Amino acid sequence: MSARDKAISSTLGYALLGLLAREERSGYDLTQALKNPVGYFWFAQHSQVYPELARLETAGLVAHTLIEQADRPDKKVYRLTDMGRAALSAWLNADTELPRKRDELVLKAYSIWLADPAAAARMMREHAQTHAAHLAEFQSGLSNLEGEAGAALWQPDSPWFGVHAVLRRGIGYEREYSEWCEWLAQCLEGTEKGSP
């Protein structure tokens, strides 16, 4: 097991296994999938995906079939093996370390007393809008999901439930972030909000 564990270098491996647990995909498809809902909380470039897939295959956690295509480049479609599914389960049960956050905007907020208040307020308003836009995307994503998945959205053994959970997190995160930006902007403009 110790030799096998080393096969999965980083968390990215489990991200890929989690995607393959739902359906077979090529490296290209996996890279695309790492943008929508999963990708809101884990991201990777294709240059990271292809080598990782090779490592996973060496470890016996995934296997691929070459699909020859006429009008497009050939592709390798990967699927999860039994060992891969077991590895994914083991990871799910293992302890999860807290993520260390690195957020440049919050870091700027720490030094915002040195900035021009009006300009800073404008900046925070822009970010509030950006996060509000993300929020709206997630919310419409959830709406679509309700249409597609129906009651399965609430069944803990349904793959839709996983998407649901991630979307809810995204919604909460973006809402909070947007509100914080708005709050800061108002403070900077002198129209304080919130009790002292």
Partner DNA sequence: TCGCCCATGTAAGCCGTTACATGATTTA
Partner DNA sequence: TAAATCATGTAACGGCTTACATGGGCGA
Task: Kindly list the residues in this chain that would bind DNA in the complex (CB under 7 A).
Answer: 9-12, 26-29, 31-32, 43-48, 50-51, 53-54, 69, 71-76, 100, 102
Q: Does 72 bind a second copy (CB under 8 A)?
A: no
The counts of H helices and E strands in the chain are: 8, 3
SS3 assignment, position 26: strand
Select the binding partner of residue 161 from a second copy, DNA, none (C-beta < 5 to 8 A, by kind).
Answer: a second copy
Residues 189 and 196: their CA atoms lie apart, in Å, by 16
Q: Which stretch binds a second copy (CB under 8 A): 1-9, 52-60, 68-76, 175-183?
A: 175-183
Beta carbon nearer to DNA, 10 or 129: 10
Report the residue from 32, 36, 89, 143 that binds a second copy according to the rule CB under 8 A: 89
What are the structure tokens assigned to 83, written together? 């060992």
Q: E-assigned strands of the chain? A: 25-26, 62-67, 75-80
Alpha-carbon distance of 25 to 175, in angstroms, equals: 32
Q: Side by side, which strands form the sheet with 62-67?
A: 25-26, 75-80, 62-67
Residue 163 binds which one of DNA, a second copy, none, with CB within 5 to 8 A depending on kind?
a second copy
Choice between 75 and 142, CB closer to a second copy: 142
**2 contacts which partner out of a second copy, DNA, none, CB within 5 to 8 A by kind?**
none
Whether 138 and 167 have beta carbons less than 8 Å apart is answered as yes
Does 156 help bind a second copy (rule: CB under 8 A)? yes
The β-bridge relationship of strands 25-26 and 62-67 is unpaired
The binder of a second copy chosen from 38, 53, 59, 62 (CB under 8 A): 38
Closer of 41 and 74 to a second copy (Cβ) = 41
Using CB under 8 A as the binding rule, the residues of this chain from 107 to 136 that contact a second copy are 107-117, 119-120, 123, 127, 130
User: How many residues does the structure list for the chain?
Assistant: 196
